[in-house]
Amino acid sequence: MSRIAVIGGGIIGVATAYELAKLGEEVVLFEKNYFGSGSTFRCATGIRAQFTDEANIKLMKHSVERWERLEEELGADIGFNQTGYLFLATSEEEVEAFRANIKLQNRFGVPTRLIDMDEAKEIVPILNTEPFLAGAWNPKDAKANPFKTLFAYLRRARELGADAREHTEVVGLEREGDTITAVKFRSNGKVESVKVDAVLNASNAWEPLINEMAGLRRDLVPIKAYKHQLVKTEPLERGQAEPLVCPPAWEDAYIIQDGEDGGIICGAGIEHEAKSLEDVEPTYDFLRGVLRYAVRIAPPLRYAHVVRQWAGFYAKTPDSNPAIGKLLDNFYIAAGFSGHGFMMAPAVAQAMAELISKGRSKAPLDWEWYDPYRFERGELRSSAFQIG
């Protein structure tokens, strides 16, 4: 049994702590604030395999299969529901691009198909069909509750023996050669240290700071935080817009009916680089911008009151694909998940735990594609298709 430190109590860190504990490892999980307080509790709940490249399609196909079994495995309701994703095309060129994406997704067993607007209207009764030519529809895409999911993973991790500490900030790493030997942390104003056999940097937007503690350059894995926002309406009757509905040509604007209370979550790719890692203040400009799109997608939303608005980070690498792998002999990274860390967590956590514990993983994760050293080599991947 090895002692493995996981830095970051978002969905990636907590799910990996669980997977490591399941493999019989001794896990210490550090979260400087409260669990979920980074991007995880600010996400839009979406889970999809509709990507536009082989690596992300395969990873998400596997992740969705894991999501399908997760409630049973964790013994908890996590609000998982396969209500689908519907992408909408506004031009013939986009329809052609959808066809090409669908072909690629079908090749790897993702059952997306092109649908007409009559079928789209049956799936999303409040949809304005007029601006759209066709839809890419995958009924297996899904949503889940980020709060319930994180706490279900956390509870099982603790039951399996993980020592999960919140309000405990990692403030330093001790390194001998290419090995991290100890983690220094501060809790209740006191700094202590624990000897470790391996460390995972799962701090997402804070990743460069942790890498620096390991003696690596901050820009080795150049992740930047971009402010992304959501608004949510009062609850509507269920069944109005259950899938995530998105015309990518409209700044990636989307709506999705919250799986718990039926409010409509409205998002868009209207983003700004965050001024600091505390910059999570919502803006009036976003509210105006996103609602303009939302009522064009679903006109009845004109009459729905907004009851919440919030902001969080897309922690992005230059190609918007995460950095997943090994940085030093026993120092690993899973960070920079852009708008996809929640949906990818079950697959990434499993693969990462197996890599740390056994030195290799059977999970279908393309290590080459997500290699954290690709930026150093100047090798960018094709940009991962954005949106939640």
Q: Which stretch binds ligand FAD (CB under 6 A): 102-110, 309-317, 325-333, 369-377?
A: 309-317
**Interface characters, 133-172, with ligand FAD (x: CB under 6 A):** ------------------------------------xx--
Q: Does 228 bind ligand FAD (CB under 6 A)?
A: yes
Determine the distance from the C-alpha atom of residue 188 to the mean position of all C-alpha atoms in its chain, rounded to a whole number. 30
* CB nearer ligand FAD, residue 170 or residue 301: 170
Q: How far is the CB of 230 from ligand FAD (least distance, A)?
A: 5
Number of neighbours of residue 81 by Cβ within 10 angstroms: 14
Give dist(CA 71, CA 377) in Å, integer: 40
Does position 9 interact with ligand FAD (CB under 6 A)? The reply is yes
In whole angstroms, how large is the CA radius of gyration of the chain? 20
Q: Which of residues 183-222 bind ligand FAD (CB under 6 A)?
A: 202-206
Do 332 and 200 touch, CB atoms closer than 8 A? Answer: yes
CA distances from 125 to 88, 187, 237, 262 (A): 15, 51, 11, 14
Q: Note whether 339 binds ligand FAD by CB under 6 A.
A: yes
388 binds ligand FAD (CB under 6 A): yes
Of the pair 134, 322, the CB lying nearest ligand FAD is at 322
Based on the number of CB atoms within 10 Å of its own CB, is 190 exposed (0-12), middle (13-18) or buried (19 or more)? Answer: exposed
| Using rule CB under 6 A, residue 313 touches ligand FAD | yes
**What gap in Å lies between CA 24 and CA 162, rounded to an integer?**
10
Which of residues 12 and 123 has its CB atom nearest to ligand FAD in the complex?
12
Q: Which of 37, 129, 187, 383 binds ligand FAD (CB under 6 A)?
A: 37
Which residue from 179, 154, 163, 386 is spatially nearest to 267, judged by alpha carbons?
386
What residues line the site for ligand FAD (CB under 6 A)?
7-13, 30-33, 37-40, 42-46, 169-170, 202-206, 228-230, 267, 312-314, 335, 337, 339-343, 388
